[in-house]
Structure formats: structure tokens, C-alpha cells
Structure 1
Amino acid sequence: MKRSSGARMSATAAVSVLSLALITGCSGDGSDGSKDSANSGSSSSPAAAAKAYSAAELEKLLLAEGEVEGYKVTSGDDTLPASKSVLKVDKAECEPVAHSMAALPPGDTDAQASNSVIQAAPSDSASTSLEDLAEGDFSEAFNLAATYVGLSSYEGDGAEKAFKAVSDGVTACSGGFGFSAEGTDTKITKIAPEKASGAGDESVAFAAESAMDGDGTGIFHTEVVRHGSTIATYYTVNLALVTSGKAYDVPAAVIDAQAAKLK
């Protein structure tokens, strides 16, 4: 039995969602109740002593194909928003949160790079279209994590300020915010803190919730990690679980692999 047209539309949006369009019409009810909200790591390391990277250097520091087992790495150029001008947020204090969800720098810098790291799909379903997948087949074929990774680097204490803006935004924007992108208006109804990985000097994690245009709600996860003068952002959606209410996370394998390249 094929999925309803509404479910197929949501699935298609989720596949595209690794562009900001993914968030358009998706939401989540927070995070796994067993998680504790937390900012991890220490902010005591002197940011002024850390190397600030150029955009070209950040491109080389991004994860590349073959560096994360079980994941495909692509440039993301066709799906990632090109700049902050694409995204209009209705609350200034929520801009760093929204930018982190779009692989854009949460702080003021032109040094940025981004790509997509997507869990490899089962080989027997990789060529099957969304329209033709049955309900059970869809859940199996697309029970995988797709993550936007963004890197940005800052002079002086810019990275610490950018990280704090995200951390503060998670609290200030708990009731949600609105944004427009590519001509589409979207309402994030809730931002809920989650337990961060503890990677880098500081890390913070949160889940975003938004309505899925008449097809329930979905949940999306973001983690932001500071490595000296560099901020790494991870925005993840599981295509099969996004509207199921079942728990999933930003993949630890992706965070660990990217952290290793930033040491």
C-alpha cells in the first residue's frame, strides 16, 4: 500500500530539507525525555591564541568522502542556502539558532564552508522512488540520518561570542520563531535544549519543532560545537523518523570525525 499524498509530500520535503526547505513545514515535539539539557566543555581556553581559518582552509577541514564509514559526503552546493540573506528571521535573538540550522555562521564572519553528510541508504532500495515505496519499505529505506555540517571561523573572541549567541538563543527562543526562506514562511513552534556531545571547547544541542502542513509534526536536531576559533554546526533529520515521535540524534560518528579534523 502506497503512502498517502500528504505523507509523500512530507517525505519529499524531508529529502530536500537538507536545504532550508526541509524545515519548511516540519516540526518536532522536543527531544527524548531521557536527555538532559546541557552545555558541555570549557570556555576557558584563550580564543585570541587560536588560529582563525580562511574560507579556503575551512573547505579543506570539512569532512570528505570516505572519512566517515557508512556515510556519503557531498558538497551540498545545490541544497544549502548560499548566504544569510536567504533567511529572514522574525526575532533577532533567534537568528543564531536559525543560522545554525542552515549550516550558516551563527556569528559575524565571512570565513565559512559547508557540506552534507548522509547515512548510506540500503542498496536494495536506493533506486526506489518515494512515490513507489510502501509504508513499511519507506520506514526501512529512509531510516537514515542526513546532516548539514557548517564550519565558520573568527578572529579574537568572535567564536566565543558566536557560541554564546546560540546558547542564549536556545533559551530565548524556547517559544519558537518564524522565518522565511525561498519565498516560503515557516513557524518553528518550539526550541528544546538537549544533551550535547561534549566535543570541542564548548557544545550545545537543541531540537526544533514545527507543524508539517497538515501531516503531523516533525523533529529536527542541531548541535553547535566550538573548537578554539572555529564553530562547527550540525543539523540532522532522519527521513523516516522525522514525524514518528521516535528518538534520533545528530550522529556521534559525524561529530567525532569532524572534531578530529579540527584538532
Structure 2
Amino acid sequence: MNRPAKAALVSLALLSLAGLTACGDSSDSAADKPKTDASANASKAPSPAEHLASSIITAADTDGFHVEETSDEYAFAKSTDEVTVDKPVCAPLAYAMNQLPLGNPQADLARVASGPSDAETELSKGINHTYVTLSAHDSGDAESAFADARTAVDACTDGFTAKANGNEASYDSVTPEKVSAAGDESLGFTSTTGFRGIKHVLHAEIVRSGDVLAVYFSVDGMAFVDNRPSDSKLSPTVVKAQNGKLG
């Protein structure tokens, strides 16, 4: 329901309440008021998907970055059900680095923000892509999913391999990385992977804000194409903007 419709509904509820107060006795008014207020409040509550849609970053939030929906065309997997990991404890990290939500979300949404090489000092080697995946959870599930990710960072230092739909991604190592405090809790990690004998360092961050998880992952895709090493850091502009919108 859009905002004008919501406002109209609230106005109608108030007018109805005023009529009851004028025509009925005080006990009727007292009995009806909580029901009217509850109905109005229920109409205002956004669904998990609507909440994420209003919370996800846009180009206007990111100071020069291009923000767009992610594409399934080159996706490692379209859902977590398609992914198998040789070390199951490491599964949350495989999801985080492939734009898949953690835990058992009610809704999820992903965007990719691309920045020009002169936008930030760490982007000087080429175009940086910072992926943002938001997921909304039932009470307690976000905390549980975050805890599983923290356990994975500590347990998967020797790396792991993930497979999906004939694709294989091998991560040689995982290392905790210090990140700025954000939301209710946050953690960061780096992972190394090799492609055609070339080493690439990948960075990720997970932030929990209430019942919403934000997962950030960065990669310099052209480095794989050009056969050159990469160390693609998360864009602080993108991360700060998204964390700010989540509160």
C-alpha cells in the first residue's frame, strides 16, 4: 500500500472514531478505540520485502557510484539449496561471497555498486564492484545466522571448496579482518583464491542491524579476465551508506 493510501486509511479511521464519540456513549468509544488504532497500525507495517526495498542503497546514497540489480546470468548459484561445501561449517562464507543470503530469511535483496577508479584511493587499479545483500529474518534468526558466520571465519582458516551447478570455487584461506563497528554486531574477513595461477584477495563484511543482515563482498572482475593479481577492498562509501540506511 502506498503512502497516500495509508494516509487516507488513517484519516478515515479517525473520522469514524469521531463519529462514534459524538453518537455513542463513553463506554462504546473506549471499547472501539483500541480496535481502530490496531487496524491503522497494522496497515502501516511494511512487509519484510517492502522494508528491504526501502532500505537498500541507491545511486543517490553513494556519491557517484552506479547501483543496479544483480544478474543471475553469471551467478555461481541462484539459491543456497544449489550449493554444497566440502566443509559444511564454511557454508555461510560461500554464501556471503556469492551474493546469497545467510540463515533462513523472510526476504532478501541484492545490489551491486560500481565505482570509477578515481572515486576512492583503494580503487586505483580498476573498477571495483561492491555487492550488497540484505536479508530480513524472523526474531532470533539473524542472530543465529550471524553467529554461524562468526564460527565459520574461525573454523575455515585453511580454506574450503564450494560447488554449484557444475561450477567450483576454491578458497585457499580465510582470515578475520577488523572492520568499523556497525549495527548491533559486525565482522569482516578476507579470503584468497587462485585463478590460472594468479592470486586474488577477496574482502567481505557482515553486519546485523536488528533482524536484518547486510552482507558486503567486493571483487575486481576484470582482474580475472586480465590474468593479474587483485586485492579488491570494500568501498567505504557504499558500506557506510548502507549501514546508515539500516540505522
Normalised by the length of structure 1, the TM-score is 0.67
State how far apart, in whole Å, the 1-side matches of 2:95 and 2:57 are. Answer: 20
TM-superposed CA distance for 1:108, in Å, is 1.6
State how far apart, in whole Å, the 2-side matches of 1:220 and 1:68 are. Answer: 21
Q: 2:203 aligns with which of 202, 221, 224?
A: 221
**Within 5 Å, which residues of 2 pair with 1:146-185?**
146-185=129-168
Please name the residue that 1:94 is paired with: 90
Please name the residue that 1:60 is paired with: 54
State how far apart, in whole Å, the 2-side matches of 1:238 and 1:116 are. Answer: 12
TM-aligned CA distance change 1:52 to 1:180, over 3 Å: farther
1:70 corresponds to which letter in structure 2? Answer: G
State how far apart, in whole Å, the 2-side matches of 1:254 and 1:203 are. Answer: 16
Contact 2:220–2:230 at 8 Å: present in 1 too? Answer: no
Please name the residue that 1:28 is paired with: none
State yes or no: 1:114 paired with 2:110: yes
Q: Which runs of 4+ in 1 moved over 6 A?
A: 240-246
Please name the residue that 2:243 is paired with: 259
Please name the residue that 1:192 is paired with: 175
Which of structures 1 and 2 has the bigger CA Rg? Answer: 2
State how far apart, in whole Å, the 2-side matches of 1:191 and 1:154 are. Answer: 26
1:231 corresponds to which letter in structure 2? Answer: L
State how far apart, in whole Å, the 2-side matches of 1:239 and 1:159 are. Answer: 30
State how far apart, in whole Å, the 2-side matches of 1:56 and 1:88 are. Answer: 30
1:85 corresponds to which letter in structure 2? Answer: D
Please name the residue that 2:220 is paired with: 238
2:110 corresponds to which letter in structure 1? Answer: S
State yes or no: 1:249 paired with 2:236: no
TM-superposed CA distance for 1:238, in Å, is 3.4
Secondary structure at 1:204's aligned position in 2? strand
State how far apart, in whole Å, the 2-side matches of 1:107 and 1:208 are. Answer: 21
2:132 corresponds to which letter in structure 1? Answer: V
TM-superposed CA distance for 1:170, in Å, is 0.3
State how far apart, in whole Å, the 2-side matches of 1:97 and 1:246 are. Answer: 19
State how far apart, in whole Å, the 1-side matches of 2:152 and 2:47 are. Answer: 25
TM-aligned CA distance change 1:116 to 1:108, over 3 Å: same
2:143 corresponds to which letter in structure 1? Answer: E
Cα deviation per residue 1:119-178 (whole Å; 9 max; x = unaligned)?
A: 1367xxxxxxxxxxxxxxxx96x5232011000111121111111111110011111111
Cα deviation per residue 1:81-120 (whole Å; 9 max; x = unaligned)?
A: 4311232222211111111112222212231111111113
1:185 corresponds to which letter in structure 2? Answer: E
Q: Percent identity?
A: 29
TM-aligned CA distance change 1:157 to 1:52, over 3 Å: farther
Secondary structure at 1:66's aligned position in 2? helix
TM-aligned CA distance change 1:148 to 1:225, over 3 Å: same
Higher RCO structure (Cα 8 Å, ≥6 apart):
1
Secondary structure at 2:172's aligned position in 1? strand
CA RMSD of aligned residues (A): 2.5
State how far apart, in whole Å, the 2-side matches of 1:86 and 1:155 are. Answer: 23
Please name the residue that 2:68 is paired with: 74
Please name the residue that 1:133 is paired with: none
Secondary structure at 1:255's aligned position in 2? helix
Secondary structure at 2:53's aligned position in 1? helix
Structure 2 gaps, min length 5: 1-44
Structure 1 gaps, min length 5: 1-50, 123-138
Higher helix share: 2
TM-superposed CA distance for 1:77, in Å, is 2.9
1:210 corresponds to which letter in structure 2? Answer: T
Cα deviation per residue 1:227-251 (whole Å; 9 max; x = unaligned)?
A: 1111000000235778866755211
Contact 2:202–2:231 at 8 Å: present in 1 too? Answer: no
TM-aligned CA distance change 1:118 to 1:249, over 3 Å: same
